């Protein structure tokens, strides 16, 4: 039997659930079905994310995606409350500090800062003394300049996902525990999805929000995207000495640190990491790659107690590290994809959910124009890269 569902969202991670929420808030809840095979989200990127939220981008669209998202996250427990139950997002605005310790990156940082402030992000440009005055535990001997985004912070990514999901369900969205194994299409349109259970669902719109699995889903209609899973390891540790609340801090080493509970978490994105699913942890990675640059920047981290660590996978866009969003123009206008967020999707999820709502219900972007991030740039091999800080 064929069942009609007007809007099918494939993937119920933070993107799928934010899209479902925004569609529901616009009155379309009854038309939305989210297909998600794993309600525990064991292997999804969202719960394995570092939870960092930052407005430190150089492309205006990314800044605006972050600013809207911060607005939603700032009010999340109220917005997502269901019958008085709140998600406990734990959004801490401890700031984000990007340090340039090489002359060439200082130039890039300062020109990005001009764009950030012009676009409405609250970012202070600091010299070494300014950094030291605010964060005495940081080594600043080699700091040339730093951008300190005071509204940025971090949150519990699993709470973000489940907050959107529970609210969307409370508004009438259906979640189906199943996996999409095929997409029916004809005459240049997606007609519906085939599920692992054998059922078929017809649809007016098919929205692919499957993160690092998105290439597999695109392949079901013959669309090729340069996105693949890429392992990234995260490490939790506690400092043996007292330390002030630090912002998320990153310098030119690429190693980042942010406060988490009683301790901190750190990670490092190795752009040479091969693509593909890899759930192994490299035993000496923290000591070999992370600890040196970390203890250089925060000397008190010479003495730490390492705790748990975990792998996760970016939906790595090998073209330029940025989102690919929109319909498959000229080929399948009702097949919409948003993926390739690499390590910066959580901080954009509310705004991406709203953008999906606009594409589906309004026929185009109404708030932030994301046309430059469409699949066309992939087809035309025109990378759109962030300058400086990348995920």
Ligand X SMILES: Cc1cc2nc3c(=O)[nH]c(=O)nc-3n(C[C@H](O)[C@H](O)[C@H](O)COP(=O)(O)OP(=O)(O)OC[C@H]3O[C@@H](n4cnc5c(N)ncnc54)[C@H](O)[C@@H]3O)c2cc1C
Residues in touch with ligand X (CB under 6 A): 10-16, 35-38, 41, 44-46, 48-52, 179-180, 209-213, 217, 232, 234, 312-314, 341, 343-347
Report, in Å, the least distance between residue 377 CB and ligand X. 19
Q: Which is nearer to ligand X, 36 or 320 (CB)?
A: 36
Q: Which is nearer to ligand X, 128 or 220 (CB)?
A: 220
At residue 150, φ and ψ (nearest 5 deg) are: -80, -20
- Other C-beta atoms closer than 10 Å to the C-beta of 139 total 18
The Cα 39–Cα 222 span in angstroms is 28
Q: Which is nearer to ligand X, 144 or 152 (CB)?
A: 152
Q: Which is nearer to ligand X, 260 or 358 (CB)?
A: 260
Helix (H, G, I), strand (E, B) or coil at 109: helix
Report, in Å, the least distance between residue 345 CB and ligand X. 2
Q: Which is nearer to ligand X, 213 or 373 (CB)?
A: 213
Helix (H, G, I), strand (E, B) or coil at 232: strand
Which of 160, 70, 50 shows the shortest CA–CA distance to 116? 70
Q: Which is nearer to ligand X, 24 or 45 (CB)?
A: 45
Report, in Å, the least distance between residue 251 CB and ligand X. 16
How is residue 282 written in tokens?
């490299």
Closest residue (Cβ) to ligand X? 345
Q: Which is nearer to ligand X, 140 or 339 (CB)?
A: 339
Report, in Å, the least distance between residue 242 CB and ligand X. 25
Q: Which is nearer to ligand X, 278 or 367 (CB)?
A: 278
The Cα 321–Cα 309 span in angstroms is 24
The Cα 12–Cα 238 span in angstroms is 33
Residues 6 or more apart in contact with residue 235 via CB below 8 angstroms = 265, 266, 267, 286, 290, 306, 307, 309
At residue 232, φ and ψ (nearest 5 deg) are: -140, 135
Report, in Å, the least distance between residue 9 CB and ligand X. 9
Report, in Å, the least distance between residue 154 CB and ligand X. 7
Report, in Å, the least distance between residue 175 CB and ligand X. 11
Report, in Å, the least distance between residue 157 CB and ligand X. 6
Which of 366, 368, 326 shows the shortest CA–CA distance to 66? 368
Residues 6 or more apart in contact with residue 317 via CB below 8 angstroms = 225, 226, 227, 323, 324, 339, 340, 341, 342
Report, in Å, the least distance between residue 132 CB and ligand X. 26
Lookup result for tokens 């379309």: 28
Which of 249, 226, 240, 382 shows the shortest CA–CA distance to 314? 226
How is residue 258 written in tokens?
């942010």
The answer to whether the CB of 25 falls within 8 A of the CB of 358 is: no
Q: Which is nearer to ligand X, 144 or 233 (CB)?
A: 233
């Amino acid at each position: 039997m064929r069942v009609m569902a007007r809007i099918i969202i494939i993937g119920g991670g933070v993107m799928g659930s934010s899209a479902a929420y925004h569609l529901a808030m616009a009155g379309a809840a009854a038309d939305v079905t989210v297909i998600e095979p794993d309600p525990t989200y064991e292997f999804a990127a969202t719960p394995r994310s570092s939870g960092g939220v930052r407005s430190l981008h150089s492309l205006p669209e990314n800044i605006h995606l972050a600013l809207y998202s911060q607005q939603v996250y700032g009010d999340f427990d109220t917005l997502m409350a269901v019958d008085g139950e709140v998600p406990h997002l734990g959004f801490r605005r401890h700031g984000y500090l990007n340090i340039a310790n090489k002359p060439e990156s200082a130039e890039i940082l300062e020109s990005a800062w001009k764009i950030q402030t012009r676009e409405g992000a609250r970012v202070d440009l600091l010299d070494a003394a300014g950094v030291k005055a605010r964060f005495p535990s940081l080594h600043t001997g080699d700091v040339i300049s730093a951008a300190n985004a005071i509204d940025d912070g971090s949150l519990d990514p699993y709470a973000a996902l489940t907050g959107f999901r529970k609210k969307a369900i409370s508004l009438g969205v259906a979640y189906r525990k199943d996996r999409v194994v095929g997409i029916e299409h004809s005459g240049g349109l997606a007609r519906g999805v085939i599920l692992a259970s054998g059922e078929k669902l017809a649809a007016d719109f098919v929205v692919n929000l499957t993160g690092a699995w998105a290439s597999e889903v695109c392949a079901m209609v013959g669309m090729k995207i340069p996105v693949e899973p890429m392992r990234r390891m995260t490490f939790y540790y506690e400092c043996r000495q007292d330390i002030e609340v630090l912002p998320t801090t990153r310098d030119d080493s690429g190693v980042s640190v942010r406060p988490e509970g009683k301790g901190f978490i750190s990670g490092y994105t190795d752009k040479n990491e091969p693509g593909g699913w890899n759930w192994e942890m490299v035993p000496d990675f923290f000591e070999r790659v992370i600890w040196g640059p970390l203890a250089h920047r925060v000397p008190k981290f010479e003495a730490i107690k390492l705790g748990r660590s975990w792998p996760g996978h970016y939906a790595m866009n090998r073209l330029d590290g940025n989102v690919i969003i929109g319909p498959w123009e000229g080929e399948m206008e009702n097949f919409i994809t948003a993926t390739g967020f690499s390590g910066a999707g959580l901080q954009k999820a509310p705004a991406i959910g709203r953008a999906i709502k606009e594409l589906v219900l309004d026929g185009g972007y109404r708030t932030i124009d994301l046309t430059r991030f469409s699949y066309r740039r992939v087809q035309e091999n025109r990378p759109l890269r962030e300058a400086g800080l990348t995920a």
